[in-house]
């Protein structure tokens, strides 16, 4: 178990008594935040953080036949319990400008955090039109909704280190963008839309250029979580191999729970700006494998198979951020280091694998769906 997390991935400090949550004075209105992408990794950590600050949080979610709110289950309170339900979910979509405008006008939020995206780089090569529409034009639709609101909110745009692409490290706010995927190109467009609305209309609009940030809540088709899930299953005999692509790719990996605090800090400043958020350390996928497998006493080379299908059409070799501006101007710095992050994720996925093994041993699931 990682020291910063409990069994359900919630900060231990967030489990303090409700009395510890700041309460508004009589007649005073709580701050209201509107979050797109609230069901994702970052959205769930940001919601925890904002609720801990006493905010009322509204999340926009897409309609789905399957529930996709698992990361928020521990925060959910039935809206009929109005006194306690400070997180509320509403249907909307970044591809539907009318829904964005309706909720911005109805809620009149103090802060808007645009975290929603088709965020998988490899998948963006498969569905480039959709990726561009949601990631780039979706941000433009939301910015326009904020601009036209009776009370324009402070706006946060989630950028990505992928925007730098082939630009040599270390990458800072002044480094040129050279995107190497449809996802990264769309994020560059969203970045410049945000800058334009700040300069043209005076919106308090910030870009957070966040380098890779992981957690036990990371999607299982992202390489870090794919590795730690495999480590748990291999350790318990539920699979033997994991198939990966480029092991020499280097990334600046931090903990998502640390990074959402930087998002909030940006919107508390006197002037809007753009900030790189990073640990300033770079590690290869191979190093991640060594740390994850080694933590449970396994040799990664015995279990990893290289599959050419997982190589990108255009690779990004090395991302390493220079976050000196954020550290100086915001007073932000990461709390969780690389090895602690890896151990946190492996511990979490070992617990999942133990539950899977109980089901497999009882014959309820096929233990060998994966080789």
Q: How far is CA 44 from CA 207, 208, 215, 218, in A?
A: 19, 17, 11, 11
Question: Residues 5, 111, 162, 356: which is the catalytic one?
Answer: 162
Active site annotation includes 111: no
Annotated active-site residue 160? The verdict is yes
Known catalytic residue at 95 = no
Other CB atoms closer than 10 Å to residue 358's CB: what's the count?
11
Judge whether 340 and 2 are in contact, CB under 8 Å. Answer: yes
Residue whose entry in the numeric block shows the structure tokens 């561009």: 132
Catalytic residue among 183, 193, 197, 259: 183
* Alpha-carbon span 214 to 253, nearest angstrom: 7
Asked whether 68 and 39 are in contact (CB, 8 A), the reply is yes
Q: For residues 82 and 109, what is the distance between their CA atoms, to the nearest angstrom?
A: 18
User: Can you spell out the DSSP letters for 112-164?
Assistant: EEE------HHHHHHSHHHHHIIIIIHHHHHHHHHHTSSSPPEEEEEEEGGGT
Q: Any residues with CB less than 8 A from the CB of 202 and at least 6 apart, and which?
A: none
Of residues 44, 119, 160, 282, which has the active-site annotation? 160
Catalytic positions, written as ranges: 160, 162, 183
């Amino acid at each position: 178990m990682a020291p910063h997390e409990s069994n359900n991935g919630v900060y231990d400090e967030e489990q303090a008594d409700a009395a510890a949550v700041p309460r508004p004075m009589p007649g005073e209105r709580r701050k209201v935040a509107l979050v797109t992408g609230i069901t994702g990794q970052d959205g769930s950590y940001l919601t925890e953080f904002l609720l801990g600050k006493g905010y009322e949080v509204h999340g926009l979610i897409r309609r789905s036949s399957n529930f996709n709110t698992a990361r928020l289950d521990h925060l959910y309170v039935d809206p009929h319990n109005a006194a306690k339900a400070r997180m509320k979910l509403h249907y909307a979509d970044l591809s539907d400008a009318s829904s964005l405008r309706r909720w911005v006008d109805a809620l009149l939020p103090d802060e808007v955090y645009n975290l929603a995206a088709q965020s998988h780089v490899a998948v963006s090569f498969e569905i480039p039109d959709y990726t561009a529409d949601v990631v780039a034009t979706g941000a433009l639709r939301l910015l326009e909704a904020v601009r036209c609101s009776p009370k324009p909110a402070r706006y946060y745009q989630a950028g990505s280190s992928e925007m730098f692409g082939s630009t040599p490290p270390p990458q800072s706010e002044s480094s040129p963008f050279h995107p190497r995927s449809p996802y990264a190109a769309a994020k560059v467009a969203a970045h410049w839309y945000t800058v334009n609305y700040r300069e043209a209309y005076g919106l308090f609009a910030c870009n957070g250029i966040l380098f890779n940030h992981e957690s036990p809540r990371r999607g299982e088709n992202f390489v870090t979580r794919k590795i730690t899930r495999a480590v748990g299953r291999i350790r318990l005999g539920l699979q033997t191999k994991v198939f990966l692509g480029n092991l020499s790719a280097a990334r600046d990996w931090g903990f998502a729970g640390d990074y959402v605090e930087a998002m909030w800090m940006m919107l508390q400043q006197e002037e809007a700006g753009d900030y790189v958020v990073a640990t300033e350390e770079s590690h290869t996928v191979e190093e991640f494998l060594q740390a994850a497998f080694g933590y449970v006493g396994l040799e990664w080379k015995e279990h990893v198979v290289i599959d050419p299908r997982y190589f990108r059409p255009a690779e990004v070799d090395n991302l390493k951020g220079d976050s000196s501006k954020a550290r100086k101007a915001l007073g932000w710095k990461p709390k969780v280091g690389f090895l602690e992050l890896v151990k946190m994720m492996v511990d979490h996925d070992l617990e999942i694998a133990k539950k899977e093994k109980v089901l497999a041993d009882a014959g309820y699931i096929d233990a060998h769906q994966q080789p």
